Structure 1
Amino acid sequence: MPPYIRPLAICIFHNDGKILVNHFQDGAPDRSFFRPIGGGIEFGERSRDAVVREVEEELGLAIHNVQLIGTLESIFTYAGKPGHEIVQVYDARFDDAAVYEKPWLAGCESDGAKFRAVWCGSLSFTEAARLVPEGLLELLVTAGLLR
């Protein structure tokens, strides 16, 4: 398949200066990254609808107050392959307030892979464990959603 630009929608859930993220390995044992919940926008689907769907699919949870906070463009290499994404970044709240009291949430990717989404503050993100997509950390700090 030839290279292409992938449209994504991700959702920032923030609580007490932390955001909910999924932790991934970047192929090398000393490199990893964190990314908020979300995924691909399907053809004919609005990005807002995609983020609501992705949260439901991955976490089994309903959300409300979904608001666009920015758009980022990310050009990167993952597992030795180039990637290019246009990312719609949303802020939202879980319908169930009890979710914010949990240290982590069980999730499942579309391929069936299980994961744990965890609450992390800005000090969790380093050069060896980046928050992606590029520019997201700055956007969240500027918007006052992450300390």
Structure 2
Amino acid sequence: MKMDIKFTVGQQRFNHRAAAVIIKDGHLLIHRNVRDEFWALPGGRIQLMENGEAAIVREIKEELGLKAEVTRFLSVHENFFTYEDVSFHEVGFYYEVTILGDMAVTTEEFFGVEGEELIYRYVPIEQLETVKLYPEKLMKMIQCGEWSPLFSNEE
């Protein structure tokens, strides 16, 4: 039996997540729930006895119907936030991910294979600051350290 690594105690929830940094043609792939005003990186919960790399490859397959491979591990980020009246303590593993096969870059919103709950789009890297992107520290993670070459406009 597969089980997501999460648990809830009262109005508090721990969540263990893997997230994909997918960059193509100077654009970053982001997604959001149709009910939300904010965007995040694609990904999902890591399952018990599953490593983060396997989780992000599985999530991309489940959500977008695409094969992917992890290029490299980027970082771990601990995030605290409130969502729908629940206080979250989330530990996220961030990976640079390459989509295998053809996936068109479009700034138009589109849905994945799971249905119409998650909206996806590619945002031009130079326009990232115009998007409400969570976790809040994600922009700093993108702009500094070893992540910054990923987001360079230079080829």
Structure-1 residue corresponding to 2:121: 118
The answer to whether structure 1 residue 80 and structure 2 residue 82 are counterparts is: no
Contact kept? 1:72, 1:133, Cα under 8 Å = no
Unaligned runs of 5+ in 2: 1-7
Structure 2 residue aligned with 1:91, among 84, 90, 96?
Answer: 96
Following superposition, the deviation at residue 117 of structure 1 comes to 0.9
Change (3 A) 1:100 1:68: farther
- Per the alignment, residue 12 of structure 1 pairs with 21
Q: Which residue of 2 aligns with 1:140?
A: 142
Q: Which amino acid aligns with 2:24?
A: N
Number of the residue aligned with 1:29? none
Q: Which has the higher contact order (CA 8 A, sep 6+)?
A: 1
| 1:74, distance to aligned residue in structure 2 (A) | 0.6
Letter of the aligned partner of 2:105 in structure 1?
E
Question: Which digits, 9 at most, give the CA deviation of each residue in 1:9-61, with x for residues without a partner?
Answer: 010111233210113444xxxxx211111000011110110000000000000
Cα separation, 2, equivalents of 1:73 and 1:122: 26
Q: Secondary structure at the match of 2:79?
A: strand
Checking the alignment, whether the CA contact within 8 Å between 1:12 and 1:19 is kept in structure 2 is: yes
Decide whether aligned partners of structure 1 residues 79 and 125 sit closer, same or farther in structure 2, where only a CA change above 3 A counts.
farther
2:135 is matched by which residue type in structure 1? Answer: P
Could you tell me how far 1:66 is from its partner in structure 2? 3.1
Shift of 1:125: 4.1
2:122 alignment partner AA: W
1:101 aligned to 2:110? no
**RMSD across aligned positions (CA):** 2.2
Q: Provide the secondary structure at the position in 1 that maps to 2:56.
A: helix
TM-superposed CA distance for 1:105, in Å, is 4.5
Q: 2 CA distance for matches of 1:15 and 1:93?
A: 9
Looking at structure 2, the residues matched to 125 and 137 of structure 1 have their Cα atoms a distance apart, in angstroms, of: 8
Aligned residues: 137
Contact 2:13 2:86 (8 Å CA) reproduced: no
Give CA deviations for 1:120-146 in whole Å, capped at 9, x if unaligned: 1353445xx521123222112221233
Classify the secondary structure of the residue corresponding to 1:55.
helix
Work out whether residues 21 and 97 of structure 2, in 8 Å CA contact, stay in contact via their aligned partners in 1. Answer: yes
For 2:127 and 2:22, the matched residues in 1 are separated by 17
- Give the corresponding residue for 1:130: 132
Q: Normalized per residue, which structure has more strand? A: 1
Three-state SS of the structure 2 residue aligned to 1:50 is helix
Counting aligned pairs with the same residue, the percent is: 26
Secondary structure of 2:132's partner? strand
